[in-house]
Structure 1
Amino acid sequence: MTELGDGTRCVHAGLADPVPGTPLLASPVFGTGYHLGHPSYGYGRADNPTWRALEEAIGSLDGGECVVFPSGMAAISAVLRTCEGRLVLPSDGYFVTRSYVQSELPWLEVVEVPTAGPWPSFDGVGLVLLETPSNPGLDVCDITALAAEAHAAGALLAVDNTTATPLGQRPLQLGADFAVASDTKALAGHSDVVLGHVTCSDPALAARIRESRTFSGSVPGPFETWLAHRGLGTLDLRLARQAANASAVYKVLSSAPGVTGLRWPGAPEDPSHALAARQMRRFGGVLTFCLPSAAHVDRFLAASSLVTGATSFGGLHSTADRRAQWGDPVPEGLVRLSAGCEDTEDLVADIRTALSTLDT
């Protein structure tokens, strides 16, 4: 049987075999204790049927064994704790990841490298973490080549796949050992869930990550897990509209006075496009650009009716976030814009109007 399309896989991923008279999507299971005798379910901190349904769904999209967590940071911290040896991190990736390592894993020797490189020798390295496209700069690195170099040196390689999503990029197929993501963003997609996951290429690694979740107590709520599974069903549709909107917004921003540093890997003009097109299956809705100052960003948001100031991305609604306000080492006017699912013509018209106020 040929592989099913993205939309079909999203709609049907993680569903149980049909039983007459039962719901299409099972309700969340809230139990903390279970009648003993089942091979998996005995206590709510160790396992839950609702988690397993979403894990099966995401794992089928990522191409590995998935373990869900209560947030993206819980997921990535579980991966970071597997490091035995030096740790290589992106210097331009999500800044909270670097902050976590400095605060909670101070014994690790850390090497920080820009996503675009150049990358150092991986001798003596235990774990290499990539973030591609990076957040918020949207630079891209070659997963296949870096995975081969890491494995040759005896290191594991993880990819923060939050920006790309499992439909946009499959790091495990490209050689990664871990694909990790904040499912708070596009996967759940409705700005009402905080969740994350790790998908592993090796069942032994997945067992290690699952054990870490149990021991640390970093377990997701069944209701949030169920909501994410429900949201996953429309991921293909949402990404298609978001990417179309991002492409249209890119064209507007590329000719707008005062806009600099515009990045979106889906644009042929983007410096990362050639590499991104080789390893990504599709592009998402996140763009990055700079306005002259924080005050210009405030004016842009005040003048927009459809773009809301918010610090997450990947949701139904278009949002914009001035990243410097949270501690990212970026220019004061750098904006990460997440194109939502509004009608393209409406969003473009709204952004044109908001940009026009910056010259007055």
Structure 2
Amino acid sequence: MTDTGHYGFATRAIHAGQDPDPTTGSVIVPIHATSTYAQDGVGGLRNGFEYSRTGNPTRAALEECLAALEGGRHGRAFSSGMGATDTALRAMCRPGDHIIIPNDAYGGTFRLIDKVFSQWGIEHTPVALSDVDAVRAAVRPNTKVIWIETPTNPLLNVADIALLAQVAHSAGARFVVDNTFASPYIQNPLELGADVVLHSTTKYVGGHSDVVGGALITSDDELDAQFGFLQNGAGAVPGPFDAWLTLRGIKTLEVRMEKHSDNAEKVTEALLRHPKVSHVYYPGLPDHPGHEIAAKQMRRFGGMVSFLVKGGEEEALRVCSRTKLFTLAESLGGVESLIEHPGRMTHASTAGSLLQVPADLVRVSVGIESADDLVADLTAALD
């Protein structure tokens, strides 16, 4: 494989793990649609492949590319972001252990930890990760993982990755950063001290709302070996076509993230001016409490925006139902713009908990359409 470590981001996205096929010269990685591989005698594996749950050349190309984009030594691809989350936690935690999570974590992550891992006797504490003293105070002798999102989903709070890495490591805990909202183009947590970076590659990495996947990236050889064991043993692996689609999406990640960010800034400006919007959450705003940290650790501020609608939940639901270009749907990070009501949709699992989101909250994933059209669509829905 070509050594791409010294190249810029866009070059790595297009070339890392993706040399022309040695047999045919294909400039695009082939879809290796096979379940098994011929062996040259018992145990005589060709390039290490024996069975596609264990390894597949298309998936291997994706994993090498993901590692290169995050500046890690190892990448592991999974069939979903939750599959990656489950694998990471099972590799690092045992019954009786304790996890610190954001107090506004993604609903699926919270559901897995609160409803599934709690049955294994694994405890968790939700903390406002922007309050480093609160994180320190939440650390227990049995704390094994500090798990963060930055920006968070859906309130777009920002955590200081480098500072929290120090807190985790001083406590002897692993430090995991869910980098889904930022993408590898905007933020690289391993460079700031994270042990593991997680992505729902369904979102910005794939970028076209046509594939579901997840990833874990690390430079820790021991951790990667554990991830690989569980990846194979539990089998939450992506098929070759899913891996191929994700690789295709990665090639345009830089240009897409620039456009997402440009459009989000224009949408944010329009929301700030609108009389029916009581608050806007976006780390690019100078008065956002995490703005200075975001400016330090992010290239741009991303394409996710959340806002509160005057009139409460019913008015927020009405806005979600009236847009024409912003499609009412869960997920995020695709080229098309999406709108959702977190309290009724992606974060319904947090109802009644400390992580319950405001009822008047609306979240938008700003796509790469013409910005003026998106502003007009949201303005009409609010009017």
By the TM > 0.5 criterion, same fold?
Answer: yes
Q: Tell me the distance in 2 between the aligned counterparts of 1:188 and 1:227.
A: 7
Which amino acid is 1:87 matched to? I
1:325 aligned partner? 344
Q: 2:18 aligns with which of 7, 15, 20?
A: 15
Q: Tell me the distance in 2 between the aligned counterparts of 1:244 and 1:339.
A: 9
Is 1:87 matched up with 2:75? no
Q: 1:307 aligns with which of 311, 318, 326?
A: 326
Count of aligned pairs: 356
Identity %: 38
User: More deviation in 319-328 or 342-351?
Assistant: 342-351
Which amino acid is 2:56 matched to? N
Which amino acid is 1:197 matched to? A
Which amino acid is 1:14 matched to? G
2:366 aligned partner? 339
1:256 aligned partner? 274
Contact 2:276/2:382 (8 A) holds in 1: no
Q: CA separation of 1:172/1:149 partners in 2, compared to 1, >3 Å: closer, same or farther? A: same
* Structure 2: unaligned runs, 5 residues or longer: 351-355
Q: Deviations over 1:311-356 (max 9, x none)?
A: 1111111111100003141122211111101011222222222222
Q: CA separation of 1:316/1:155 partners in 2, compared to 1, >3 Å: closer, same or farther? A: same
Contact 1:176/1:201 (8 A) holds in 2: no
* Structure 1: unaligned runs, 5 residues or longer: none
2:314 aligned partner? 295
Q: Tell me the distance in 2 between the aligned counterparts of 1:58 and 1:330.
A: 32
Q: CA separation of 1:313/1:222 partners in 2, compared to 1, >3 Å: closer, same or farther? A: same
Q: Tell me the distance in 2 between the aligned counterparts of 1:10 and 1:21.
A: 22
1:355 aligned partner? 382
2:50 aligned partner? 42
How far apart are residue 100 of structure 1 and its match? 0.9
How far apart are residue 33 of structure 1 and its match? 1.2
Q: Deviations over 1:114-169 (max 9, x none)?
A: 23222134342111101110001100111111111211121110001110111111
Is 1:269 matched up with 2:277? no
1:151 aligned partner? 169
User: More deviation in 193-202 or 288-297?
Assistant: 288-297
Q: CA separation of 1:44/1:19 partners in 2, compared to 1, >3 Å: closer, same or farther? A: closer
1:316 aligned partner? 335
TM-score by length of 1: 0.94
Q: CA separation of 1:129/1:346 partners in 2, compared to 1, >3 Å: closer, same or farther? A: same
SS of equivalent to 1:92: coil
How far apart are residue 30 of structure 1 and its match? 1.8
Q: Tell me the distance in 2 between the aligned counterparts of 1:277 and 1:16.
A: 35
Q: 2:188 aligns with which of 170, 173, 188?
A: 170
Is 1:112 matched up with 2:126? yes
TM-score by length of 2: 0.89
Q: What is the RMSD computed on CA atoms of the aligned residues?
A: 1.8
Contact 2:136/2:167 (8 A) holds in 1: no
1:198 aligned partner? 216
Is 1:183 matched up with 2:191? no
Q: 1:286 aligns with which of 304, 314, 323?
A: 304
